[in-house]
Structures are given as structure tokens and as C-alpha cells.
Structure 1
Amino acid sequence: MEQVRWAHGVARDRLATTAPGRWRHAQAVGVRAVQIADLYKPDHGLLVAAAVLHCIGYAPDLVDTGFPPVDGARHLRDLGAHPRLCGLVAHHGGAAVEAGLRGLADELAEFPDEPGPTRDALWYCELTVGPNGERRTFDQWIADIEARDPVGSVPRRFLELGRDQLRGAVDRTRERLSHVGLERWDPTVPESA
């Protein structure tokens, strides 16, 4: 679990004082990942580390391209992080769609994408935890963007283009969790279930 301790320290150092809301979210996404990580052996540590680090690119002193997935992944690469970790951070939350809209596809392509269960699980963790660490559903996440961002904005265009890909990752992960009795971690299932 050295990778997880390292990730937690890096995220804390970059986000706790400069972006405390992001830090709360990162911690909660990390907790969500811990709750389901046993299903993702041998990627247990990788999943939790990526969950804690996924929004590190929001740290003000790391802004380079202005696109947090790329800025965060570049920082991690500079620190010597494993390429898989950098790739998961770079591609979290369907970043390829938004990178294309922002004209940053080449910058994102510096990092390998890794479709599959571990990436799906990271997206699931991120998309089922609210900005202050609260549990939420994917549909609540969608509603937050629709309420916050105007029609035609990059986030709304991203949502139009990437919704099915994101929902697929969430649904595939929920299905995996249900097969091993971890559906109690699913925010769409009441706590008493």
C-alpha cells in the first residue's frame, strides 16, 4: 500500500490548502475506491491511488494547459509515477471527449488510455461522490452539470457527447459489484439494503 500512502500525501500537499473542496472530494473518492477495491486485485492499490489523485490537476500551481486531467497527469509523470497511474488520472471521467472539445487531444495522447474494469471503477467512484464527499447517483451528477453550466458550454457539450460512455462505465461497475455482494456501496441502493 506504499503507492496509496504516496498518492494520499501528494494529493494532500497539493490540494488541502489551495483547493480544499477538491481535497474533500478526492478523499471521498478514495474512500469509495477502498470500499470496492478488493474486486480489482491486483489493481487494488492502483485504483485507490488514482481515485485520490484524479483531481490533482486542479491545484493552482499545476495549471499548464488549463485542463486538469492533463495537468495532473503531467505532474505525476514528473514525480516519477507509474505510467498506468498517470494514464488513469489523465483519462478519468471521460477526459478524451472534453480534451477533443478543448483542442487538447494531442496533449492527452501523451498518456495511455486503459479501457477496462479498473478504469470503469475509477469513473464509477468519481461519478458517485459529490463535490463535498456525499453519495450521489450518476443521474444526480448529470443534473448538477445541467443546473450549473449553460447550454452550449464545453461541460454541456461534453455531457451530450460523453454521457453514454460514462453511464456505461458506471453500469458495468455496478454489475460487477452486484455479483460479489457489494451492491450496498451503490448510492442508488438505500443504506439499509
Structure 2
Amino acid sequence: MASGLRYGPLGPNCIHLCIDMQRMFGPGLPWAVPWMDAVLPNIEALTRHHADRTIFTRFIPPKRLEDAHGTWRRYYERWSEMTRQSLAPEYLRIVPELERFSPPARVIDKTVYSPWTEGHLDGMLASTGVDTLVISGGETDVCVLGAVIGAVDRGYRVILAQDAICGSADATHDALMFLFRSRFSEQIEMAAVEELLWVWR
């Protein structure tokens, strides 16, 4: 599948969905995403272009290990320092370069990978006429994956800002980009931020 907007320009029914660009994924923390700083200028440019059409998601861990259910309990046994009783609240916040755009950008919280599972995003988009999502953020192979698949299932036009998404492992980032290109050619487009800025006016 070739990159680029194969199904035409972006219109007024498009939003920018930015996934989990939070301080807790910064350098020196257990969940650090090394490529986050590299893509941040592109995400910032995309957000600045349409701040009023941007939705940020935040991944919110449980307060205590005991609050996690099912296999999430095992997950937080491994990452107990990332529960809210151990993590300073400031680390849950959107990174400063993007937080300054909210408002008018909106923020929704989620406790799982997908922004769709708990219904907050569906509720926000209900009756708005939105039909297209430009997706940025991280991580490619975890929360971005959850956002993309949920959007495809709901029939949205899905556009990945290919130079504005990141992961913590190059191999799985590349594998997911290949998967999106090769298996979802009718439902997912990819475009560079420069092209998106040009066509989304």
C-alpha cells in the first residue's frame, strides 16, 4: 500500500486523535518511549494547525495494585512503580509542548490500551458528524494499535500520521506499520504531517 491520502483531502468532519503523549513516557522512567521526542515536533505542528479539532488521550494506571483486575494485576505487579500511589500526579499530564493547546483541545482518560473500550470517546464523538480520524502519538504497537483497530471497526476513515507516531521498540513499530500497510489497505491511509497540514485546511 502506497503512502499518501488516496481518498481525497480532509474536511470539516475530521479530528486529530493524539494517543498518550504523557510525561510518564519520558526519559528516565520505566515506560520511557525513546522516539517520543523525535516525533513531538510533528505532533505539535499537527495540534497547532487544528487545536480545536484535537483530542488527547491519557493512559491512567490504577491507584493501587489491588485495584487492577485480571491479567492487569500481573501487569502492575511487574510495573508497581507506575501505579498512582507510587507515581507523582504530574507524570500523568500531557507533555508541556502539547498540554498548552488544551483548551481548546480536549482530553479523555482511559485505563486500558484502547480509547474506545470505556465509551468516553464514543460519547464525545456521538452526533458530531465526525467521519475521519488522523491518529498520532504512541505507542505504535500498543495504544495506537488499540485506537486504530477500534476506529476501523466503527467505520471511520483512519489516517495514520506516519511521522507522528512512535514506539519503544523499532522492530515492533516497523512490524505494525507493515501490517497496517499490507492488511488494511482499504481502511487505513498513511501520510506525512507535511501533507496533512497542506490538505487539511
TM-score normalized with structure 2 length: 0.35
- Greater strand content: 2
Please identify the structure whose Cα radius of gyration is greater.
Answer: 2
Higher helix share: 1
Larger RCO (CA under 8 A, 6+ residues apart)? 2
